[in-house]
Amino acid sequence: MPSEQAEAREQALAERLRSSLRGEVIDRSHPGYEEARAVWNGLIDRRPAVIARCAGTADVVEAVAAAREHRPVVSIRGGGHQVAGSAVCDDGLVIDLSHMKGVHVDPSARTARAQAGVTWGELDRETQLHGLVTPGGEISATGIAGLTLGGGLGFVMRTFGLSCDSVRSLEIVTADGTVRTASREEEPDIFWAARGGGRGLGVVTSFEFGLHPLGPEVAGVLVLHPYERAEEVLRAWRDATYTAPETVTPEILLWSVPADPAIPQELHRSHCVMVGAVYGGPPGDGATAALAPQRELGPPLMDLSGTVPYVTLQSANTWRFPDGERYFMKSHFMEDLTDEAIRTLVDWDSRRPTPESLIVIRTLGGAVARVGPDDSAFAHRSARYNVSIDAGWRDPALDEAAIGWARSAWDAMKPFSSGGTYVNFAGLGEDASELRGAVFGSHEERLERIRAAYDPEGLFAPAARRP
Task: Figure out which of the listed residues 25, 49, 97, 257 binds ligand FAD, where binding follows CB under 6 A.
Answer: 97
DSSP track, 79-99: SS--TT-TT--SSSEEEE-TT
Q: Is 143 a residue that touches ligand FAD (CB under 6 A)?
A: yes
Q: How far is CA 250 from CA 242, 321, 344, in A?
A: 10, 21, 21
Could you tell me if 255 and 276 are in contact, meaning their C-beta atoms sit under 8 angstroms apart?
no
Does residue number 72 form part of the binding site for ligand FAD (CB under 6 A)?
no
CB of 127 to ligand FAD, least distance (A): 17
Q: Tell me which residue of 407, 373, 340, 363 sits closest to 154, measured CA to CA.
A: 363
Nearer to ligand FAD, 301 or 393 (CB): 393
Stretch of residues binding ligand FAD (CB under 6 A), selected from 45-53, 83-91, 230-238, 403-411: 83-91
Q: Name which position in 150, 161, 276, 366 contacts ligand FAD (CB under 6 A).
A: 150
Three state DSSP letters for 423-446: HHHCCCCCCCCHHHHHHHHHHHHH
Q: Which amino acid belongs to residue 254?
A: L
Cβ neighbour number for residue 305 with a 10 Å cutoff: 20
Choose which of 73, 296, 302, 321 interacts with ligand FAD (CB under 6 A): 321
204 part of the interface to ligand FAD, by CB under 6 A = yes
Residue 196 near ligand FAD by CB under 6 A: no
What's the closest the beta carbon of residue 228 comes to ligand FAD, in angstroms? 28
Under the binding rule (CB under 6 A), the answer on residue 116 touching ligand FAD is: yes
Residue choice 72, 135, 146, 365 for contact with ligand FAD (CB under 6 A):
146
Beta pairing, strands 271-279 & 217-226: antiparallel
The reply to whether 87 sits near ligand FAD by the rule CB under 6 A is yes
Tell which one of 75, 169, 294, 305 touches ligand FAD (CB under 6 A).
75
**Using the rule CB under 6 A, is 48 a contact of ligand FAD?**
no
How many CB atoms neighbour CB 372 within 10 A?
8
- 385 exposed, middle or buried (CB, 10 Å; 0-12, 13-18, 19+)? buried
Residue (60 or 273) nearer to ligand FAD, CB: 60
What span, in angstroms and rounded, lies between the C-alpha atoms of 221 and 106? 31
Please report, as ranges, the residues that interact with ligand FAD according to CB under 6 A.
40, 75-83, 86-87, 97, 116, 137-139, 142-143, 145-147, 149-150, 152-154, 199, 203-204, 321, 424-425, 463, 466
